[in-house]
Amino acid sequence: MSSILPERLLYNTLQQRKSNGEILYYEIFKWKMKHAPGTIHRFCDSSLSDQERQSLTSWMRNLDDRSSCQRLQILFSFSVPCLHALEHILNLSTPIISAGAGNGYWEFLLQERGADILAFDQNTIYPPEMRYMEIMESNPTILCNHSERALLLSWPDHKEGCLFSLDCLRHYKGNTVIHIGELFGETLSTNPWGQTTSRDFQLRLGETFRCVSRVQLPNWPGHMDSLTVWSRAPQPVECYGAEMVFINSTNPRYIGWSDT
Ligand SMILES: C[S@@+](CC[C@H](N)C(=O)[O-])C[C@H]1O[C@@H](n2cnc3c(N)ncnc32)[C@H](O)[C@@H]1O
């Protein structure tokens, strides 16, 4: 970083990163964005020269730079958590199972705030010393045994052809999916389904669940992440020739409107 990181934001050790449950990553995010190059959001603007774009992309993605966005994403998580997003999940008042939790940063923050949360991953990428909490070594079949929990998926697929998120949805028999990341049409990627979950996953999610709430997340340049909550759609009911599903929601963003 061109400016010196204040001592209160140091993140050298796991203990420092845990920060007694405070959301240190969000504080680092705000500090880093405050000191970002003024043109950072134009990193993929073809009207800039190759050299300008390369310098901006390096600020974001250079893995040799411990303070690049990508290094921070590996140390913490792909999406940046904020208090509003954590509280939105906590207010669901449901136990959770997180699939592909990585090092479990979001999960740790939720657990610190009282959530009943299990996390699993294939555990081949993040070594134990990087993990914020216990991450069970498992695969999507574990979800068959946890239909009483909401399924949390945060950036599960590393590329479009990845089957992981779809496998999770196939095995999950519960009623609530919490999705963190990009969704169809909300991405700067050339892939309109975004960088988080595959097309096949999102189509199946849309066919079997309905989005009932949404929270905007802090975004690193190049991301268009949000937190969305999805409720399983019940059997359809015939309504004057149209097949409709009943979703028990009062959220004015989705159901009608409210003047309060
Ligand atoms: C892109 S990382 C996201 C990590 C974390 N959720 C985050 O948001 O930072 C995807 C994670 O999914 C895990 N994963 C991929 N395929 C898996 C599988 N079949 N079973 C369990 N975990 C898997 C990877 O090991 C990796 O930790």
d(CA 130, CA 70): 15
| pLDDT on residue 2 | 53
Report whether pLDDT(256) > 80.
no
Q: Tens digits of per-residue pLDDT, 87-122?
A: 999 999 999 999 999 999 999 999 999 999 999 999
| d(CA 157, ligand 1 centre) in Å | 7
| d(CA 235, ligand 1 centre) in Å | 32
| pLDDT on residue 249 | 85
Contacts with 187 (C-beta within 8 Å, 6 or more apart), sequence order? 193, 194, 195, 224
Helix runs in 118-195, H state only: 164-171
Which amino acid is residue 191, in one-letter code?
A: N
- Do 165 and 172 form a contact (C-beta atoms < 8 A)? no
| d(CA 96, ligand 1 centre) in Å | 16
Tell me what the mean pLDDT of segment 60-68 comes to.
91
Query: Residues enclosing ligand 1, CB less than 6 A?
Result: 77-79, 100-102, 121-122, 124-125, 139, 154-156, 158, 164
User: Which ligand 1 atom is at minimum distance from the Cα of 153?
Assistant: 6
| d(CA 219, ligand 1 centre) in Å | 20
Residue nearest to atom 20 of ligand 1 (CA): 139
Tell me what the mean pLDDT of segment 229-255 comes to.
91
Query: Tokens 């574990």 map to which residue?
Result: 142
